[in-house]
Every structure is written in C-alpha cells, then in structure tokens.
Amino acid sequence: MSGCCGHNAKFDGVSDDYKRRLWIVIALNATMFAVEMTAGQVAQSQALKADALDFLGDALTYGISLAVIGASIRARTNAALAKGISLLLMGLWVFGSTVYRVFYVGVPEAEIMGVVGALALATNLASVLLLVSYKDGDANVRSVWLCSRNDAIGNVAVMFAALGVWGTATGWPDLIVAAIMASLFLSSAFQIVRQALAERRSEHTHEYSASRQS
C-alpha cells in the first residue's frame, strides 16, 4: 500500500476497510488495558503495567488516527507528532519507574504474568494481522502499525519475563523486560517524529514550488 499508480504517494488511511479494522483494534486495546493493568496490580509486575499502559496509549492514539484520516498533511503530521511525543513520555515513565523499582525489588506473580501475557499476545497478533496490509502508509498510518508491532513484541517479552521470574524467584527479569520495552517506546517515538517532520518538510517544499510556478 506504499504507492499509488506508480507514484510515491503513501496510503493516508482513506479506506472504509482500514477504518473498520482500526475500530476493531481500538476495542481490543481498550479491553486489554483494563485486563492487564488490573493483573499488573495484582501480580505486582512492572512489565505487565508497562504493557497495559502501552495498550491505553494505543487505544487513544488510534482514535486520533481515525479522526484525522482524510485531513490535510499538516493535520495528519500533527497527529503523528502527538503520538510520537506520547510514546516518548511513556517510554521515559516506564524507564524511570523501572529504575525506581531497582531499589525496591519485589517478586512478581509469575503465573499471572504468564497467563495475561499470553492473552495479550493473542490480542496483539490479531491486531497485527488486521493492520499488516497497511503498514507502509504515511506517518499517521505507520504510527498505528508501529504501535501494534510494539505490543506484540512487548507481550512476548512479558512472557519471557514471567519465565525468568519463575526460574530465578527474583523480580530482576521483570525489571529488565520493562526497561527493554521502554527502549522500544523511545525508538518508535523517534521513528514516528522523524517521518512526520520529513513529510511536513516535503509538503512545504511542494507548496513553495507550486507557488513559484504560479
């Protein structure tokens, strides 16, 4: 979906099929936020809480994505920048809270982490399959794909953390995975912001060239 009719225009989300898939993904993410945050509190798992926060962020930012579909490039890049900044803040929060917990390490409930992690993974794999056909769109569309991909990777990491906690009887695997997820948030934030700014510069160049020609 990265081009159209031989041109370099990127898919901007203007598709009834894409919108339907996005609504389904929003519902899945909102549901899993509630489930995983509750489980994270019960299990005292930082990794589960980090992943739950990612579900919430995704549900909100996917809503923004829907709102700006078909809007101007400026509106779409503004939405992408907002999502990039939110991912950056999320990553910093997870990283900071993980560092804090290094000085007070409890042992999470590995069984709860494993079960909820598996449920979250199934949810995110469904989201990835729904969105994979639209992964190469503009900054707004691509940010949706990156968030879904991050979720699936994060869920696999949570399950590894659960296995590590169970095997070592310590909370360190949980904290390590939370730190890795924070790094993933930060990396995706930079990718989204960089693409959004590049698209905005390209639009400004196009507008300037058009004004010169007229």
4 domain residue, yes or no: no
Inform me whether the pLDDT recorded for 174 exceeds 60: yes
- Residue 2 resides in a domain: no
CB atoms within 10 A of CB 129: 12
Over residues 56-75, mean pLDDT: 80
CATH number of the domain at 40, please.
1.20.1510
Q: What does the pLDDT read at residue 26?
A: 92
The confidence score (pLDDT) of residue 94 equals 73
- Please say whether the beta carbons of 105 and 175 come within 8 A: yes
Instruction: Please check whether residue 190 lies inside any domain of the structure.
Output: yes
| Alpha carbon distance 82, 139 (integer Å) | 11
For residue 98, is it within any domain?
yes
Which has more confidence, 7 or 213? 213
Residue 157 falls inside a structural domain = yes
Q: Are 116 and 48 in contact (CB under 8 A)?
A: yes
Alpha-carbon gap, residue 47 to 156, rounded angstroms: 11
Work out the average pLDDT over 131-139: 77
Specify the pLDDT at position 7: 37
Enter the DSSP assignment of 133.
G
CA–CA dist 59, 202 (Å, integer): 29
In the chain, the number of structural domains is 1
Q: Please, what is the average pLDDT of the chain?
A: 77
Residue 205 lies in a domain: yes
What residues contact residue 58 under an 8 Å CB cut-off, 6+ apart? 25, 29, 147, 148, 151
Q: What is the pLDDT of residues 18-48, one digit of tens each?
A: 888 889 999 998 998 999 889 888 887 777 7
Express each pLDDT in 102-125 by its tens digit.
Answer: 565 556 677 787 788 788 888 888
